[in-house]
Every structure is written in C-alpha cells, then in structure tokens.
Amino acid sequence: MKRIVWNSLDEAERRTALARPAQSRADELRRGVEQIIAAVRKNGDAALRELSARYDRCALQAIEVDEAEFAAAEARLAPELKAAIREAAARIDTFHRATAPQPVAVNTATGVRVERVLRPIHRVGLYVPAGSAPLPSTALMLGVPARIAGCREVVLCSPARADGTCDEAVLFTAREVGVHRVFKLGGAQAIAAMAYGTESVPRCDKLFGPGNAWVTEAKLQVSGDPEGAAIDMPAGPSEVLVVADAQANPVFVAADLLSQAEHGPDSQVILVSPSSSLLDKVSAEVARQCAELPRGAIAEQALAQSRLIEVDSLEQAMEVSNRYAPEHLILQTATARDLLDLVESAGSVFVGAWTPESVGDYCSGSNHVLPTYGYARSYSGVSVASYQKQITVQELDPNGLRAIGPCTATLAAAEQLEAHRRAVTLRLAALGTQL
C-alpha cells in the first residue's frame, strides 16, 4: 500500500491520492455492451442462450429455474447455512421495516389537505453476481426490501455454472425472501433481458444490484434509454476507508482493509490516521494476513492501488474521508461515536473496534448495496424506499381554494401562465370571490 503524508501534498497531488482505480468504460467495453443489448432486444431467448454459451460456458436448456431445481438446491444446502440465511433475513427485515417510508397527511391551510401515498414499483429486477464467488447475501439485501415494499413481481437473475445450474444458496435465499421468478442469466445480457424483456424474461421497471464492469455499463446504458429501465444507483468497485488512531488494534484494522481488498483486483482500501506508528504496524499486518488468505493474490492486486494516509488530526482524517465519500467507512478510534457527527458522505458507517464491515455485508440488518466510486456524495444505499413510488395528493374544499387561490394566481401571473391563473380565478368567481 502506498504511504502518503497528506499535508505534504498540493491540491493536484491530493486529488491523485484519492483517485479510484480507473473505472472501465473504454470504447471497446461500451461497444461490446451495446452489441449485447442489441442482440437481446432483437433475438430474445436465442441471444440469451448464445451469450450464456459464450461467456458462462454453459448450454442452457431452460432459462428459468423450475420447482425441481429449487427443491434440489434446498436439499443440498447445509442446515447451518440455511439457518444463517434465515437469521440474517430476519434482522434485515427488522431494520428495513423500521426505516421504511410512511404515508403522510397534513393540512397546509384551512381546507387544504396534502398527502403522500406510497405505491410499490410493479415489477423489479434483481441482479445477483456469481463471478469468482456466488453472493447469496446480495439476494438477501435486494429481496427483503422488495418484499416489504410490496412489489407485485420480483425477478432475479444470477449466472449459471458450467452445468447449467445456479448456486444453491442463491436459489434458497431467493425463495426465502419472496422472489417470484429466477433466471439463470448473468452479465450484460441479464440486464438487457430484464430491461427490455424476452420470450421468457419479463420486462422490469427498475433494476437493482451490483456487478462487474459489463453489468455496470449495461445498467448505465439501459437507464439512459427511455425504453429501458431505471436503476438503483451508479456503482463501481467495492471500497473501504478506515479512520484509526494510535489506540486502534492493527490486527483488526488490517483485517478490515483485506475484507474489501479480496473482493476484486479493482477494489480500493484506504487507511487514514494521525499515528505514523499505527500506519507502520498496519502495513506489516496487512502483508502478514494477506499471505494467509485463499484470495490473497486478488487482494494483492487491490492493495497495489490502495493508500496509507498520514494526517495531523482525526478532524483532518474526517475531512479526507468526506472528500473521498467511501462506500464503507470504519471508525476505529478511542471515541469513535464522537466522529459520527463529522460524517457527511459515506454509504454505511461502522463505529468502534468491535464492528467489522463484514457484519454489514451479511447480517447486522443494514443494506450492503451501497453507492461506490464517490457516489455516496449524492446517493444512498438500497432501502424500502428504493422500491416504492412516493405520490403526492392534494384536496381542497371551497374554503381551501379561497385561502390559497390568490397566492396561486399571483405566482401564475408572475410566470405569464395565464391558463394557470384562470384555472384558479374562474373557480373563485364561481364561489363569488373576485381577486
């Protein structure tokens, strides 16, 4: 990991120090995704089978998972894993129900009632990656809030293995959280199928979930097409920023950094601390622990573009963090909660030495589908609200129109929208009120 002294850098060097690994949207990738989307739109299921053979190296017979496959997956899954999935789902459900939007009704003037009503998005598409490893936890994080929101149809796509089957844990989780239909599809072709529909895959209104550069590019393309589908958020590689002081345990800090570095070679991890001694200890501990990891080679590639940043104070550390706007922010300091008020931009925050980021990935109850690549400055993680439409309603009685009609007419006249003004004044005249 590259060592940096923050106050020795000029502004251009600071921007470089906090730069993410180049997010791949090269012309070749863009054109490749465009071709995949065009093929799926033109040839439907036939294109899905051809692309699955090319990229996933499997010959799909049936694209959709059937009842026998769900039953076989549940039978093969270890009881302790099924119990863990149910346990995690319960906590995720508890948190997401407590934080779900609520209907609102308020009288803004006498006779003027304004409301907010909630309606679920009709059909949503969830994407669960299964590249170097399957991610049943993503099925939990996407499926539970969709169920709470009341979406009428929840579709899930996850790549098939070489034998044409999906991961057993993903299938079990999908059923456990109420997903209605599962398709053995991955990559940009899965995004295209859910955005536009095929003979087998229904067209979805909004797409959710993380993925590789091809999936991310496909989501961006379909979200920019009026005939495509909305998406949860822009996203990039996984990342974590740790703020730690001299009292932090370097073993814990190193473990947290590596927990994100092992996601993929384009992940990024950053440690910010006013303690030079801690930075030294963590650097050595990262090397020691990385050598023991099964995915150590992947983590090493991520570490090559990661940072150890020395600052003058914890307050300055928080300034660096807010500037970076991390997907995951870990506060490992003696008074970690005191720093929470200084957090302005982060996807999810983990407070104190006993709160590893891993618990948020799996079962604390919060959602792990979070904005990355700096989008935490303006986006939030997936929640029940992500699956709902918030519709405002207003209702006036005659006294209400008398009360706010003149204000409306004045503002409409200022904008030179005479029809707007008359829609009010004609009604006021019918009530015997003249402006």
What is the predicted pLDDT for the residue at 195?
98
Region of residue 432 (phi > 0: left; psi between -120 and 50: alpha; otherwise: beta): left
Query: How many residues does this entry show for the chain?
Result: 435
Which residues have C-beta within 8 Å of that of residue 367, sequence separation ≥ 6?
92, 96, 141, 145, 348, 381, 382, 383
Show the domains of the chain with their CATH numbers.
2-23+236-365 (3.40.50.1980), 27-100+120-231 (3.40.50.1980), 397-430 (no CATH)
Q: For the whole model, what pTM was predicted?
A: 0.93
**CA dist list (Å): 242 to 70, 346, 349:** 40, 12, 10
Element (H, E) at 328: strand 328-332
CB 178 within 8 A of CB 147: yes
What is the predicted pLDDT for the residue at 237?
83
What is the predicted pLDDT for the residue at 23?
63
Q: How far apart are CA 332 and CA 385, in angstroms?
A: 30
Residues classed as catalytic: 327-328
Closest CA to 175 of 84, 80, 60, 85: 85
Largest interatomic CA distance in the chain: 84
Count CB neighbours of 255 within 10 A: 16
pLDDT by residue, tens only, the chain of 435 residues: 899 999 999 999 999 999 988 665 678 999 999 999 999 999 999 999 999 999 989 999 899 999 999 999 999 999 999 999 999 999 999 999 999 999 999 999 999 999 999 999 999 999 999 876 788 999 999 999 999 999 999 999 999 999 999 999 999 999 999 999 999 999 999 999 999 999 999 999 999 999 888 998 999 999 999 999 999 998 778 999 999 999 999 999 999 999 999 988 889 999 999 999 999 999 999 999 999 999 999 999 999 999 999 999 999 999 999 999 999 999 999 999 999 999 999 999 999 999 999 999 999 999 999 999 899 999 999 999 999 999 999 999 999 999 999 999 999 999 999 999 999 999 999 999 887
What is the predicted pLDDT for the residue at 83?
97
Q: How far apart are CA 125 and CA 374, in angstroms?
A: 24
Known binding-site positions for substrate: 238, 260, 263, 328, 361, 415, 420
Known binding-site positions for NAD(+): 127, 189, 212
